[in-house]
A and B are shown apart, each in its own frame.
Chain A
Amino acid sequence: MARRSKKIEHKDADVPISAMIDVVFLLLIYFIVTQKPIIENTLLTVDLPAPGGKPKDKPVQLFTIDVHRIEKDAAQDLKVYYVNQQRWNFDDLKVQLKKTAELDPKQTIIINCGPNARHQKLVQLLDACAEAGLQSLNVVEDLTVEFNPEPGTKTK
């Protein structure tokens, strides 16, 4: 009789292993499926012009880089910039930026960005300036270029 009651107690203490494994595997699969790859982000800092200020009267001695879209050749678009109205290859520009930063890291760089330029082109330039160690980057609007919206994008 004593033996029988011991057996019953043992049965009560059992954990429903198979059901628990079902739930646990379900959770595991859910987390594996919804998990996104870990991507490291960076934040590139820029200086903004004062409200109401007009970029008309630019001092000539500042390092001005024009960022425009090269409409004719999409492959060349990310490789060509204009510095003080002269065409520059991006690799050469990076070398020049490093030289400038060595002379004076506080040198103000004016980035004159046209409305049609792709955002990637601006970010690529800001990244090159960050790599060179330049700290004062002003992004201004190029008012001389007319906005030419791409098909399927908002015009206002």
Chain B
Amino acid sequence: MAKKKKRAQLAEASVPISAMIDIVFLLIIFFVVTASIDKEVEDEMITLSNAPHGKPVVKKDPRSVTINVRRDGSINMNMIEKSIPEITNALTVAASQWGKDIPIIIRGDKDVQHYHIRKVMKAITDTGLYRVRFDAVIE
């Protein structure tokens, strides 16, 4: 009789392992799938401006060149700080490889002075590129 009671108690304390593993694996697959892999071109130090009426980006042109401009005016491409002549050279190489219609995305900090953005825009026009976009967030 005592043995029977003990067994019943043990059964009550068990955790539904298989159901839990199902849920945990589902969550892991979700996070793996949604984790983006092409974020290394975007500088996390930059706070983008808000543009609530812009069209959301559905598909990005794979040839896009991203230029980050931080609040202090420092400019980087793929997280490597560059001067304006270096940016011009990099854009010239990109234009010769993929053509002059490649989109250039300027990711400027919301508080950076326009002077620094202007320098990048001038480098773009000097290279002969013309498709310029300003990155912003929809909130």
Q: Which residues of A contact B (CB under 8 A)?
A: 17, 20-21, 24-25, 27-28, 31-32, 34-35, 38-51, 67, 69, 113-120, 122-124, 126-128, 130-131, 139, 141, 147, 149-150, 152-154
Contacts and interface: CB of A to CB of B under 8 A. Distances in A.
Nearest to B54: A42
Given A48-B124, A48-B125, A118-B111, A130 B53 contact: yes
Tell me the dominant secondary structure on chain A's binding face: mixed
A127 B51 contact: yes
A139 B100 CA distance: 20
Contact of B108 (A114, A115, A116, A119): A119
B62 interface: no
Contacts of B114: 67, 113-119, 122
A145 B97 CA distance: 38
A131 to B, nearest CB: 4
Given A118-B113, A119-B111, A153-B113, A44 B134 contact: yes
A22 B127 CA distance: 55
Candidate in A27, A141, A147, A153 with the most chain B CB atoms within 10 angstroms: A153
B111 A43 contact: no
B92 interface: no
B137 A40 contact: yes
Contact of B54 (A34, A39, A127): A127
Name the 6 nearest CB pairs between A and B, nearest first.
A42-B54, A31-B31, A154-B73, A115-B115, A123-B49, A131-B53
